[in-house]
A and B are shown apart, each in its own frame.
Chain A
Amino acid sequence: MSPVHGGAPAGNRRSDWRGVDLHVVTGKGGTGKSTVAAALALALASTGKNVLLCEVEGRQGIARMFDVEPLPYEERRIARGLPLGDVAPGAVNALHIDPESALLEYLSMYYKLGRAGKALDRFGIIDFATTIAPGVRDVLLTGKVYEAVQRNARNKSATVYDAVVLDAPPTGRITQFLNVNGELAGLAKVGPIKAQADTVMTLFRSPRTVVHLVTVLEEMPVTETVDGIADLREARLPVGGVVINMVRPRDLGPADLAAARAGTLDREAVAADLSRAGVEVSHELVDSLLEEARDHAARRGLEDSQREVVEALDVPSYELPRMPGGIDLGGLYELAARMREQGLA
């Protein structure tokens, strides 16, 4: 795999993650990790790379975000990056990885099982491996991700990508998920599984992989991010950046925020401004605006204190705005542009 290092167009920083082939995106539930993964794939494609975006949780979230038919176990082109400067944009392909298909593919790629393959199915072993046997799911899912990053001759005519983005399981489970091959390698001391698991772990622990953590500026998600980073480091998995998602709008400056918090915003001036702007002024309206401002100021204060926690982590951080109307395809491109400006892609 040879990443394309095109010159960054004006307004965009060079990526902080040059030379990375696998971007793993995790985050606490509700922080928007799938959105961030999708936007990151678009951002990378905008730098001219051909990108594969993978999901492994069976939710078909990619299909919904990009407004396409539910994805099969097959790489499908779903979007192109934005043309920026003189770089021709790359494509975003998507793959929905389910464990059963991954297992069947793996068996056919590595083992000539013939009749035995059918027997495995008949004995309920395929079903056992993918639904009942704990942990095997994760081995199969990470195994397929590995295959996509490290394409080899066994998978003939497969597209080779410049980067793979994985919409991974949530922060609380990410180390276990990525380390599952390590666990398995510990379980199987010799044999083909051991060899396979070791190879996968070598990629995940190399500088070619980074794990980005998505958070919002609230206590619990930030705490989970801090813990997640510690867990990743302990498992010797490479920590990427912290993506701070859904940052509140900054329509009030520091002085106004302080006044809003203290309840000293000038009522009369606000009322005068409103009527100058052609709004019908009532006590209720002014009260509501001031109350909203106070609430906003309190939450901004909490955001600032959580931002300090993130900044103390010694990990690059990136900020994405909250979209009041929700996320659509246009919204994804907008987030992708923010990522490019800040050097995440």
Chain B
Amino acid sequence: MTRSRPRVGPLAATADRAPRLDVDALIDDPGTGIIVCCGSGGVGKTTTSAALALRAAERGRRVVVLTIDPARRLAQSMGIETLDNTPRPVVGVGPGSLDAMMLDMKRTFDEVVLSQATPEKARAILDNPFYIALSSSFSGTQEYMAMEKLGQVHRQAQAEGTYDLIVVDTPPSRSALDFLDAPERLSSFLDGRFIRLLLAPAKGPARLMTAGLGLVTNALTKILGAQVLRDMQTFVAAFDTLFGGFRQRAETTFSLLQAPGTAFLVIAAPEPDALREASYFVERLTEDEMPLAGLVVNRASPAARTDLSADEAVAAADRLSRTSEGSTTAGLLRLHADRVRMVEREAHLRERWATAHPEVATTVVPAMATDVHDLEGLRRIGDLLAGTVTDRVDRAG
């Protein structure tokens, strides 16, 4: 091997020529009001969000972290038995403060309905079978509600001065960009002809039933059955007056995300799929002029402290095994070869990624052997994120 040995930690990012992501500068900047963590599933998004929020709070910010994932252990690590729709204070944090909450999709939806509609109309909506299915069990609603909740928390923070930083974890959807698409989808739906079609019969005037509409209504009745169509129509009619407010708030939240006070962090793992998804996020965020702060690569394999290559190690292990079966040293050499191969592969993937996205600041966080069980564990991840500790090997137990 002629190039310098692969290393994990902040040094690796500089070696890759990617600018290093300065996490502390980001969270210390009073101009940063919202941090959105996005990325594919299983890359440690929720943990990263919590660790960032805690670190910011301990550096003096007044923070609320909104998680989507119902990770009980994470809640417990913050000393909260179960997270819910109401922000709960995390004890033992200072000089700033940290509240944590988890999105309750149905309750958020219900609250919006209750706050926006007359009691009578709210009841009609809440009891509608189509609404019940929509708000509680169907996927996709989560993205709309995450947007809604973020807007709510932000408005409240502005009005009451409760928080100066909101850290948001995004839903584990197929593509978390569904989160960004929610307002536009809502708008295109509201402006679409379909909604007029659904509203037309409920509102009565038969003259609206043009030939096209009749054709479609008949087709829908045939496919869905009359009862489902009727439930949908009742729902849309009752909801009609609320749509405008929904759209307005969604659009406000969307422009809030584009504002300079927001920072997006793309979270990934050193795996082809996760990095591909990260590329997709970066491109999409750039396209929508969303402020991208950088990339966090979690779960990196810790590098070895020696230059001995994988091939050399395997060759030596084979020589030892020939003379003494079950040799401990041969085992050590094979383990070393395995680790070197993992580290090289990951470094290669990160380098290729950095070459394609040279402008994206990056920080690399080594894999932890255990999950986080307490605030101390979250602090440690915060240190690794900020690059203030550089221990390559995570010693567990």
Known A285-B308, A291-B305; judge A30-B137 contact (CB<8 A): no
A28 touches B395 (CB 8 A): no
Q: Are B396 and A173 in contact (CB under 8 A)?
A: no
Closest to A126 in B: B194
- In the bound complex, how far is the Cα of B371 from the Cα of A198, in angstroms? 41
- Once A132-B189, A191-B226, A295-B395 are accepted as A-B contacts, the answer to whether A119 and B215 lie under 8 Å apart by CB is yes
Residues in A whose Cβ lies below 8 Å from that of B371: 218-220
Stretch at the interface among B9-17, B35-43, B282-290: B35-43
Q: Which residues of A contact B96 (CB under 8 A)?
A: none
Which residue on B lies nearest to A250, using beta carbons? B331
Q: Is B222 an interface residue (CB 8 A)?
A: yes
Taking a contact as CB atoms under 8 Å apart, the answer to whether B227 and A189 are in contact is: yes
Taking the closest CB of chain B, its distance from the CB of A157, in whole angstroms, is 25
A287 interface hit (Cβ, 8 Å): yes
Interface hub of A191, A219, A265, A278 (most chain B Cβ within 10 A) = A191
Contact for B137 among A31, A124, A135, CB less than 8 A: A135
The answer to whether A288 touches B336, judged by C-beta atoms less than 8 angstroms apart, is yes
Stretch among B49-57, B244-252, B311-319 lining the A interface: B311-319
Q: Interface segment, A45-53, A251-259, A311-319?
A: A251-259
* Whole-angstrom CA separation of A36 from B138 in the bound complex: 27
Once A251-B334, A270-B332, A277-B317 are accepted as A-B contacts, the answer to whether A298 and B225 lie under 8 Å apart by CB is no
How far is the CB of B174 from the nearest CB of chain A, in Å? 5
Determine whether the beta carbon of B139 is less than 8 Å from that of A30.
no
Residues of the B chain whose Cβ atoms lie less than 8 Å from the Cβ of A186: 133
Of residues 129 to 188 in A, which have CB atoms within 8 Å of B's CB atoms? 131-132, 134-135, 137-138, 169-170, 172-173, 176-177, 180, 183-184, 186-188
Q: Give A290 to B333 CA distance when docked, in angstroms.
A: 10
Bound form: Cα–Cα A57–B330 in Å: 43
Question: Using Cβ atoms and an 8 Å threshold, which residues of chain A touch B153?
Answer: none
Question: CB-CB < 8 A to B133: which residues of A?
Answer: 135, 183-184, 186-187
A123 touches B197 (CB 8 A): yes
Query: B110 CB to closest chain A CB, in angstroms?
Result: 16
Whether A117 sits at the interface, judged by CB under 8 Å, is yes
Instruction: Chain B residues near A190: list those with CB within 8 A.
Output: 225, 227
Instruction: Specify which chain A residues have a CB less than 8 angstroms from the CB of B193 in the assembled complex.
Output: 122-124
Contacts of B326 in A (CB 8 A): 253
In the complex, whether A289 has a CB less than 8 A from a CB of chain B is yes
Of the candidates B69, B219, B338, the one whose C-beta lies within 8 Å of that of A120 is B219
Among B85-93, B157-165, B201-209, B270-278, which stretch is in contact with chain A? B270-278
The answer to whether B242 has its CB under 8 Å from any CB of chain A is no
A30 in contact with B316 given A188-B224, A270-B328 (CB within 8 Å): no
* Contact of B216 (CB < 8 Å), options: A123, A249, A291: A123
Chain A positions within 8 Å of B, measured between CB atoms, are 28-31, 34, 57-59, 61, 107, 111, 113, 115-117, 119-120, 122-125, 128, 131-132, 134-135, 137-138, 169-170, 172-173, 176-177, 180, 183-184, 186-194, 218-221, 223, 249, 251-253, 256, 261, 265-266, 269-270, 273-274, 276-279, 282, 284-285, 287-296, 298-299, 301-302, 324-326
Name 30 A/B residue pairs within 8 A (Cβ), A-sorted. A29-B42, A30-B42, A58-B174, A59-B174, A116-B218, A123-B194, A123-B197, A135-B139, A135-B140, A172-B41, A183-B133, A183-B138, A187-B129, A188-B225, A190-B225, A190-B227, A193-B224, A249-B335, A251-B335, A251-B338, A252-B332, A269-B328, A273-B328, A288-B304, A288-B336, A294-B395, A302-B369, A324-B338, A325-B345, A326-B345
Residues of B bordering A, CB below 8 Å: 40-43, 69, 71-73, 129-130, 133-134, 137-141, 172, 174-175, 185-186, 188-189, 192-194, 197, 212, 215-216, 218-220, 222-228, 231, 269, 271-274, 299, 302, 304-306, 308, 312, 316-317, 319-320, 323, 326-336, 338-339, 341-342, 345, 369-371, 393-397
